């Protein structure tokens, strides 16, 4: 079972569906928490069906910004308990009948409101005695090591956030992979990286899920990277591979001929047989003429990881080129 959290910085654009589809393909979350969706519930409802989630809960955007969404599969029995523009709080019961609490959190980005975020954490801690995990974009740092580049983060903000987590009995879950989840700038002299996205949990939650793994990922859009918390190995059966028409085929001048040939233009068989024949031929045609798109995407992500870890002038320039290519 796994939980993915991502500050997507808006999913109303036309590329949102393929980006989110690839996100769920790569990290296979049973629960997906999105912050800064910048859309209303109707858009999330459509995405939920496309991404094969069974349930969803939405906090609509306020004005032109904000917005939260929680999508989940039947792997969990989830009950929404509280929600507002900064969090979605739920009680969880998994297949092993283990009860715990999950909060998807989005902290105030304005420095003058950081204290409000800390007080909000304390309020959430007081709501239940269940084992608790909270994940999301906190817009806060727990250590000076959570930032790289330009001016150091103010110590009073680090101390305030750290004290709030201690008051709540929360421990920071270690992040595997690149140590930062947010990036600003594209050159070494103006590049800033911070670990704004994280997961925290109480000790009793640690006892329930001792073998967790929190990893840092990459995505084709947003200045935030997605983080995924795996609680145990995924034991679900592999999904049946349905035929899907790839939009990139429309850019191939040979597609019309391929469809006509596969359809059997002069064949008088029934429509169902023609459709099946066309699907089979397009699969063969695609393998012959096009590289495997999923493999190409995975290779791009690996190259982005290498560039992000190298952190040289050339590497960062290449990183943003690869991110643009991945988004395309």
In tens digits, the chain (328 residues) has pLDDT values of 899 999 998 888 777 788 888 899 889 999 999 999 998 888 888 888 889 999 999 999 887 788 999 999 988 899 999 999 999 999 999 877 889 999 999 999 999 999 999 999 999 999 999 999 999 999 999 999 999 987 889 999 999 999 999 999 999 999 998 999 999 887 667 789 999 999 999 999 988 888 899 999 998 778 999 999 998 633 344 445 677 888 878 888 888 888 888 887 656 678 888 888 888 888 878 877 666 677 778 888 888 888 887 766 667 788 888 888 888 7
pLDDT of residue 238: 43
pLDDT of residue 32: 96
83 has which bridge partners? 88
313 has which bridge partners? none
* Chain mean position to CA 231: 16
Going by C-alpha positions, the residue among 92, 95, 94 that lies closest to residue 70 is 92
Contact call for residues 72 and 30 (beta carbons, < 8 A) = yes
Going by C-alpha positions, the residue among 26, 3, 8 that lies closest to residue 295 is 26
314 phi/psi in degrees, rounded to 5: -65, -40
- DSSP letters, 1-49, are -EEEEEE-S---STTHHHHHHHHHHHH--SEEEEE---S-HHHHHHHHH
Going by C-alpha positions, the residue among 175, 234, 177, 171 that lies closest to residue 205 is 171
Please give the Cα distance from 308 to 6 (Å, whole number): 18
pLDDT of residue 323: 85
- Interior angle at CA 26, CA 328 and CA 104, nearest 5: 100
Please give the Cα distance from 25 to 67 (Å, whole number): 23
């Amino acid at each position: 079972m796994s939980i993915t959290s991502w500050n997507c910085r808006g999913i109303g654009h036309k590329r949102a569906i393929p980006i989110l589809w690839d996100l769920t393909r790569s990290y296979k979350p049973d629960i997906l928490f999105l912050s800064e969706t910048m859309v209303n519930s109707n858009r999330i409802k459509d995405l939920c069906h496309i991404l094969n989630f069974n349930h969803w809960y939405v906090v609509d955007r306020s004005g032109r910004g904000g917005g939260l969404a929680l999508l989940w599969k039947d792997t969990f029995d989830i009950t929404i308990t509280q929600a507002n523009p900064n969090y979605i709080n739920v009680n969880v019961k998994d297949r092993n009948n283990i009860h715990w609490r999950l909060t998807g959190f989005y902290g105030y980005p304005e420095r003058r409101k950081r204290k409000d975020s800390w007080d909000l954490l304390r309020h959430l801690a007081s709501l239940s005695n269940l084992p608790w995990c909270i994940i999301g974009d906190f817009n806060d740092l727990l250590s000076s090591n959570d930032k790289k580049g330009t001016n150091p983060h103010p110590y009073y903000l680090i101390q305030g956030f750290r004290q709030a987590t201690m008051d709540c009995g929360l421990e920071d879950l270690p992040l595997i992979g690149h140590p930062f989840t947010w990036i600003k700038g594209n050159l070494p002299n103006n590049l800033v990286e911070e670990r704004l996205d994280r997961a925290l949990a109480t000790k009793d939650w640690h006892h329930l899920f001792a073998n967790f793994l929190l990893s840092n990922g990459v995505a084709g859009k947003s200045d935030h990277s997605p983080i995924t918390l795996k609680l145990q190995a995924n034991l679900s059966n592999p999904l049946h591979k349905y035929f899907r028409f790839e939009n990139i085929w429309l850019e191939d001048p040979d597609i019309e001929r391929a469809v006509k040939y596969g359809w059997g233009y002069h064949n008088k068989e029934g429509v169902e047989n023609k459709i099946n024949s066309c699907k089979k031929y397009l699969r063969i045609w695609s393998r012959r003429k096009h590289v495997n798109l999923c493999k190409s995407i995975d290779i791009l992500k690996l190259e982005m990881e290498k560039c992000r870890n190298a952190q040289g002038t050339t590497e960062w320039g290449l990183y943003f080129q690869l991110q643009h290519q991945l988004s395309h």
